[in-house]
Chains A and B, each alone.
Chain A
Amino acid sequence: MNKSACIDVQELNVKRGKNLVLDQLSFQLEAGKIIGLLGPSGSGKSTLLRSIVGNQIITSGTVTVLGLPSGSKALRHKVGYMTQAASVYDDLTVTQNVAYFAKILGLPDEEVNRVIQGTDLSEQASSLVIDLSGGQRNRVSLAIALLGSPEIVILDEPTVGLDPVLRADLWGLFARLAATGLCLVVSSHVMDEAMRCDQILLLREGKILAQLTPYELMERTGATDPETAFLKLIDTGASNSHDNATPDPDSAPRHRASADGSK
């Protein structure tokens, strides 16, 4: 195992019912970079992130986080996780939400103010979450994931439903976080966001299509935008693996639809 890897996944398989959701995944991720987990809806992104956090029952394989098996008790203070649903209490204020999770983590009150400021929620601090906009709700969830400056931060589609300005702000925040040397994994189904990452993990139908930098993605495919690059990668992937006997004519249009409707 690579010593500098903060997350090490080996031959990970996850079955849900009869479906193979994750198929023989192996990769390593390094700290200090924004790692983008990209793929269309239903490609297994959330399942992979939950496997890293340790909330997912895995069928076989290993997931090692900071040298420990994922889900270890010692990791519960070290992993910040933002689920796809906002995972906050609607009937509490922003501060009450953050303060509750801070108490569970055993953190001082200053930490509550720090993450609220860091996610630009100071003005909404005493509003009930139910009265916030979708983007603000997402940021409350993000604030909680950042409590206690965890070494690993896992964000499942944090920019979904945000306007372009807010989205740019958040990517700026992610870059600053990654620069502090933590291990940051951000998932997205919007291919354009690939360009904001330092490294991309492309996932499709539970398999890793590629692990590369945005520059390599464009260079390898000769595409002018990440959207086309992704489609080209799928084409080459399909022609390389004829043993994958199930043709899936729906997947390309479905992917395009989900990327266009980047809502």
Chain B
Amino acid sequence: MRRTLATTGRVLNQVRHDPRTIALMLVVPSLLIGLIAWIFTDTPAFQRIGPSMIALFPFVVMFLVTSIATLRERRSGTLERLLSMPLAKGEFIFGYAVAFTMIAIVQTIIASSFAVWVCGLEISGSFWLMFAVAALDALLGISLGLMASAFARTEFQVVQFMPALVIPQFLLAGIILPREQLPGVLESIGDWLPLSHAIDTLSDVAAGTTDSDTAFSMLVIVAWIVVALLVGSLTLRRRTA
């Protein structure tokens, strides 16, 4: 626990020394939500797409940040040094997860406040549930990012995992075309992808129609997080060739 918190503190300290990244992480989602609201002025589409955007940002941003941060740890030798010390892999992973989830929650508070009070998005359901789902999305991004970093040797490679892992999920999530209208195979793939469930959940929260389906969706996201964290922790090896 002490070592997990030390890692969280260290990661937050690193981010604190990089004010431009903080500004980008906190402001860009709101700007993009504002742009979408503006594009769909006078149509009901924003009410449908807005919640999806709130689901999308913590996932995408945390995926990128985690994949690059852990790749840097692997490449700079700090990970090797840490693993030669009495630090458990779980402590390392959870240290990162706690730090980035905290940032993701702040990001979501700003983005959703902007969406609701400036762009006029209506959230009929619970705000707490919305933050909980956003935190889950962030964790999902963190766990997939950690996994992706293991399969990349350079920063160039790792950023390519973003379109490879994120855009298909975005396309199949039902934002562009509702999932029921997709070809059968794509519909069933989309039904199992975590981002689809993140978007479904936030749409339910916005519409105030949360039910047992919502709970199931959250479970699917949690399952993906657990699997990705397990695979990710397998890639943190004390001994390497």
Complex CA gap A89/B77 in Å reads 10
Using known A-B contacts A54-B84, A103-B2, determine if residue A92 contacts B10 with beta carbons closer than 8 Å. Answer: yes
Q: Which of B188-196, B221-229, B233-241 contacts A (4 or more CB under 8 A)?
A: B233-241
Within 8 A of B (CB), among A57-114: 57, 71, 73, 76-77, 79, 81, 83-92, 96, 100-101, 103-106
Within 8 A of A (CB), among B162-176: none
Considering only CB atoms, which chain A residue lies closest to B82 in the complex? Answer: A104
In this complex, which of A16, A73, A105 has the most chain B Cβ atoms within 10 angstroms of its Cβ?
A105
Using known A-B contacts A56-B239, A100-B10, determine if residue A128 contacts B78 with beta carbons closer than 8 Å. Answer: no
Complex CA gap A83/B7 in Å reads 20
Complex CA gap A81/B82 in Å reads 10
Chain B proximity of A1: nearest CB distance (Å): 23
A7 within 8 A of B: no
Q: Is the CB of A83 within 8 A of B81?
A: yes
CB contacts (< 8 Å) of A103 on chain B: these are 2-3, 6
CB contacts (< 8 Å) of B238 on chain A: these are 54-55, 71
CB contacts (< 8 Å) of B2 on chain A: these are 103, 106
Q: Is the CB of B13 within 8 A of A104?
A: no
Within 8 A of A (CB), among B189-235: none
What is the interface residue range for chain A against chain B?
20 to 34
- Per a CB cutoff under 8 Å, which of A55, A73, A87, A101 touches B239? A55
Considering only CB atoms, which chain A residue lies closest to B17 in the complex? Answer: A91
B87 within 8 A of A: yes
Q: Is the CB of A71 within 8 A of B77?
A: no
In this complex, which of A85, A89, A106, A144 has the most chain B Cβ atoms within 10 angstroms of its Cβ?
A89
CB contacts (< 8 Å) of A53 on chain B: these are 84
Complex CA gap A190/B58 in Å reads 50
Using known A-B contacts A104-B3, A106-B2, determine if residue A96 contacts B13 with beta carbons closer than 8 Å. Answer: yes
Complex CA gap A104/B13 in Å reads 16
CB contacts (< 8 Å) of A79 on chain B: these are 84
Complex CA gap A91/B85 in Å reads 21
CB contacts (< 8 Å) of A104 on chain B: these are 3, 6-7, 82, 85-87
Complex CA gap A71/B80 in Å reads 12
Using known A-B contacts A73-B86, A87-B78, determine if residue A57 contacts B10 with beta carbons closer than 8 Å. Answer: no
Complex CA gap A103/B87 in Å reads 10
- Per a CB cutoff under 8 Å, which of B76, B82, B87, B241 touches A16? B241
Using known A-B contacts A56-B240, A91-B14, A92-B10, determine if residue A85 contacts B77 with beta carbons closer than 8 Å. Answer: yes
Within 8 A of B (CB), among A15-57: 16, 53-57
User: 1/0 per position for B8-36, CB-CB distance to A under 8 A?
Assistant: 01100110011000000000000000000
**B interface residues (Cβ-Cβ under 8 A, vs A):** 2-3, 6-7, 9-10, 13-14, 17-18, 76-78, 80-87, 238-241
Listed by A's residue number, 6 A-B pairs whose Cβ atoms lie within 8 Å are A54-B239, A57-B239, A85-B76, A89-B10, A101-B82, A104-B86
